C-alpha cells in the first residue's frame, strides 16, 4: 500500500491540491480519504479510479490499488485455488478497464507461484486434480494478459502450459480454451496456417459444445480471410452466426459467457477488412462497438482501432479523423501493448496514403509520436 500512498501524495503535491480539496472534488468523506492517503485503510477500486482521473495518473493508481487488493498467498491446496480465482477476478477487471500492461506481471507471479508449489510435489494426491485445473486456469489468465500487453512469446508459453496442465487434470473445457487462445494469438501475429490447424483439431473432436465450435469457426474464418479465401471465410462465419443464434447449451463451458452475436459481428468486420472490403466492414464493426458494456475501456479501444482502419481504407477521411481523436483520448487511460501494436500498423497506412487530408496526417503523426517507446 506504500506505493499507492506515495503516488497519491506526489500527485496531490504536483497539482497543488489538498486532501480536503480532492475529497470535495470526488464527493468522498475527507476522513476516509485521509485514512487512505496516510496508509491506514485500503483504497476501494472506485476511489482509485476517481483519483486517477482527478490527478491525471492514467490508470496507474487503479493498478496499484488492484495489486494491493490481491489476497495474500494462503496455505493449503483449497485456499490456494481460491487465491488464484480471486486474483484472476481482480486482474481481469482491471485489464478490461485499463489494459493489461501494468497487471500482466502480477498475473504471471500468481501463476508461477502456484506452479512452483505444484512442481514441488507438496500437493496431496487426492487434491492434485483440482489444483492442476486451477493452475491451468491461472496460466490461461496470465497468457491472456500477456497477449493484451503485446508479449506474444510469453503469452504462447503460458497458453501451451495451460493446455498441458488442463490435459493432465482431465479438464477438457480448459483444454479447449487454451487451444482457442493459441489460435487467437496465431491470427494476431499472422500465422493463419497454424490457426487453421488448431480450429480443425477442435472441430474434429467428439461432443464439442456449441459455443466452443462457434469460436473454432470464428478462428477458422479469420485465418481463411488472411489467406484470401473469400467463399470459405464467409461460410465459416455464417456457420458461427448460426451457432450463436441457438440457445446456450448446458454443455457450454462457463468461460464462453462472452461469446455473443456482437463478437461474431466484430470478427466478420475484421475478416472483411482483411479480404479488402472495408466499406462492408464498417457497419459490422459499428454494430460490435455498440454492444460494449465499457465504452471507454480496453475492448472499446481495440474495436475503434479496427473502425479507424476501415475508415482509412475506405478513404472516409472525416470519419477517420473523428475516430482517431476518440482513440487518442482513450490512450490516456488504457495501457495495452497489443492495441499500440495494432494502432501503429493502422497509422502507417494513413501515413502512406497520399490523399489523406493534412489534418488527419498531422494527428496521425502526433499519435504515432506519442506511441513511440
Q: Are residues 58 and 120 in the same domain?
A: no
Element (H, E) at 181: helix 172-188
Q: What is the pLDDT of residues 225-250, one digit of tens each?
A: 999 999 999 999 999 988 887 766 77
- Boundary (domain end) residue, out of 138, 168, 198: 168
- Boundary (domain end) residue, out of 133, 168, 203: 168
Q: What is the pLDDT of residues 135-186, one digit of tens each?
A: 999 999 999 999 999 999 999 999 999 999 999 999 999 999 999 999 999 9
25: domain CATH number is 1.10.260.40
The residue among 370 and 4 whose pLDDT is bigger is: 370
C-alpha cell at 75: 496455505
pLDDT at 74: 54
pLDDT at 195: 98
Which positions ≥6 away from 116 have C-beta within 8 Å? none
Asked whether the predicted pLDDT for residue 56 surpasses 90, the reply is no
Among 299, 339, 286, smallest CA distance to 101 is for 339
Q: Are residues 175 and 271 in the same domain?
A: yes
Q: Are residues 207 and 155 in the same domain?
A: no
254: domain CATH number is 1.25.40.10
pLDDT at 321: 96
Q: Are residues 4 and 54 in the same domain?
A: yes
Among 35-39, 227-231, 289-293, 307-311, whose mean pLDDT is lowest?
35-39
On the CB side of 94, CA atoms within 13 Å amount to 35
Among 110-114, 214-218, 244-248, 298-302, whose mean pLDDT is lowest?
244-248
CB 186 within 8 A of CB 194: yes
Q: Are residues 193 and 111 in the same domain?
A: no
Q: Are residues 299 and 229 in the same domain?
A: no
pLDDT at 176: 97
pLDDT at 20: 80
Q: Are residues 140 and 150 in the same domain?
A: yes
SS3 content of the chain, % helix, strand, coil (to 5): 75, 0, 25
Domain extent for 223: 171-289
Mean pLDDT of all residues belonging to the chain: 89
Asked whether the predicted pLDDT for residue 59 surpasses 60, the reply is yes
Q: Are residues 190 and 265 in the same domain?
A: yes
- Boundary (domain end) residue, out of 256, 289, 322: 289
On the CB side of 308, CA atoms within 13 Å amount to 27
Q: Are residues 103 and 159 in the same domain?
A: yes
Q: Are residues 155 and 175 in the same domain?
A: no
% pLDDT > 70, the chain: 95
Predicted structure pTM score: 0.81
- 31-40 per-residue burial string, b: 16 or more CB within 10 A, e: under 16: eebbebbeee
% pLDDT > 90, the chain: 60
Asked whether the predicted pLDDT for residue 69 surpasses 60, the reply is no
C-alpha cell at 124: 496431496
What's the average model confidence in pLDDT over 268-280?
96
- What pLDDT band is residue 9 in, cutting at 50, 70 and 90? confident
pLDDT at 351: 86
Q: What is the pLDDT of residues 71-80, one digit of tens each?
A: 555 555 666 7
Helix (H, G, I), strand (E, B) or coil at 38: coil
Domains identified in the chain, total number: 4
What is the Cα–Cα distance from 80 to 88, expressed in whole angstroms? 12
The residue among 283 and 290 whose pLDDT is bigger is: 283
Q: Are residues 276 and 343 in the same domain?
A: no
Q: What is the pLDDT of residues 324-368, one digit of tens each?
A: 999 999 998 899 999 999 999 999 988 888 789 999 999 999 999
pLDDT at 129: 92
Q: Are residues 241 and 349 in the same domain?
A: no
Amino acid at each position: 500500500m506504500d506505493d499507492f500512498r506515495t503516488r497519491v501524495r506526489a500527485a496531490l503535491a504536483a497539482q497543488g491540491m489538498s486532501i480536503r480539496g480532492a475529497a470535495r472534488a470526488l464527493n468522498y468523506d475527507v476522513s476516509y480519504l485521509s485514512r487512505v492517503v496516510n496508509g491506514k485503510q485500503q483504497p476501494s477500486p472506485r476511489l482509485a479510479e476517481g483519483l486517477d482521473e482527478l490527478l491525471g495518473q492514467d490508470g496507474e493508481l487503479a493498478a496499484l490499488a488492484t495489486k494491493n487488493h490481491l489476497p495474500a498467498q494462503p496455505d493449503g491446496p483449497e485456499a490456494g485455488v481460491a487465491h488464484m480465482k480471486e486474483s484472476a477476478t481482480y486482474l481481469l477487471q482491471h485489464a478490461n478497464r485499463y489494459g493489461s500492461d501494468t497487471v500482466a506481471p502480477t498475473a504471471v507471479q500468481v501463476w508461477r507461484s502456484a506452479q512452483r508449489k505444484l512442481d514441488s510435489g507438496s500437493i496431496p494426491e487426492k487434491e492434485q486434480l483440482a489444483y492442476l485445473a486451477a493452475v491451468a486456469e491461472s496460466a490461461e489468465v496470465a497468457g491472456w494478459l500477456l497477449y493484451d500487453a503485446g508479449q506474444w512469446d510469453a503469452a504462447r508459453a503460458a497458453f501451451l502450459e495451460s493446455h498441458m496442465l488442463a490435459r493432465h487434470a482431465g479438464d477438457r473445457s480448459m483444454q479447449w480454451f487454451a487451444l482457442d487462445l493459441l489460435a487467437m494469438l496465431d491470427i494476431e501475429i499472422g500465422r493463419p496456417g497454424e490457426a487453421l490447424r488448431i480450429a480443425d483439431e477442435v472441430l474434429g473432436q467428439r461432443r464439442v459444445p456449441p459455443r466452443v465450435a462457434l469460436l473454432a469457426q470464428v478462428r477458422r474464418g479469420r485465418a481463411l480471410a488472411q489467406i484470401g479465401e473469400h467463399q470459405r471465410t464467409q461460410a465459416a462465419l455464417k456457420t458461427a452466426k448460426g451457432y450463436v443464434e441457438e440457445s446456450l447449451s448446458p454443455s457450454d463451458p462457463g468461460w464462453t459467457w462472452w461469446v455473443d452475436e456482437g463478437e461474431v459481428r466484430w470478427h466478420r468486420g475484421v475478416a472483411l477488412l482483411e479480404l479488402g472490403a472495408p466499406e462492408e466492414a464498417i457497419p459490422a464493426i459499428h454494430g460490435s462497438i455498440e454492444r460494449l458494456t465499457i465504452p471507454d475501456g480496453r475492448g472499446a479501444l481495440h474495436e475503434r482501432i479496427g473502425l479507424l482502419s476501415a475508415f482509412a481504407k475506405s478513404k472516409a477521411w472525416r470519419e477517420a479523423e473523428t475516430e482517431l481523436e476518440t482513440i487518442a483520448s482513450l490512450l490516456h487511460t488504457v495501457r495495452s501493448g497489443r492495441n499500440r501494436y495494432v494502432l501503429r500498423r493502422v497509422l502507417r497506412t494513413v501515413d502512406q496514403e497520399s490523399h489523406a487530408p493534412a489534418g488527419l496526417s498531422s494527428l496521425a503523426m502526433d499519435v504515432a509520436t506519442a506511441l513511440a517507446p
